[in-house]
Amino acid sequence: MIIQGANTPLVITFDEDVTTIPKLLITLWCDMKDYAGSPIKTWTKNDVIVSGRQVALPLTEDETSSLPTAPMVIETKGMNSSGATLFWDQCTVTVKRRRDKDMRME
């Protein structure tokens, strides 16, 4: 779950160690009409923290505040050292609405 106004990273747990995979591309999508066709957020391996089977996807307060309260889809693909494209199953994440999403914790 993503909470509007939070800055907590999303964490994906893979079924295998992804530390040595040279390239990762992780995208966050919303299928609502106004958002269809383009990812809401994109991360590459340089943008994330990889630790074995887990990958942490950073999010800022500004990013989560602007997310629609709708189901989101995360898609992940990578490229191994042989150049083969790897795909993982999609996963869904919901965005929880917060009335205080624009009140910053400074």
> DSSP letters of 25-85?
EEEEEE-STTTTTS-SEEEEGGGSEEETTEEEE---HHHHHTS-SS-EEEEEEEE-TTS-E
d(CA 47, CA 60): 13
Model confidence band, residue 102 (pLDDT cutoffs 50, 70, 90): confident
For residue 94, being part of any structural domain is answered with no
Q: Which residue has the tokens 């089977």?
A: 53
Residue 99 in domain: no
- Reported as a single tens digit per residue, the pLDDT across 14-72 is 999 999 999 999 999 998 888 878 899 999 999 999 999 999 999 999 999 999 998 89
This prediction's pTM: 0.90
Provide the 8-state DSSP code for 16: S
The residue type of 11 is: V
Within-domain flag for 102: no
Report the C-alpha gap between 46 and 38 in whole angstroms: 21
Per-residue pLDDT tens digits for 44-59: 999 999 999 999 999 9
Residue at 68 is within a domain: yes
Domain CATH code at residue 64? 2.60.40
- CA-to-CA distance for 45 and 25, rounded, in angstroms? 7
Structural domain including 34 reads 2-89
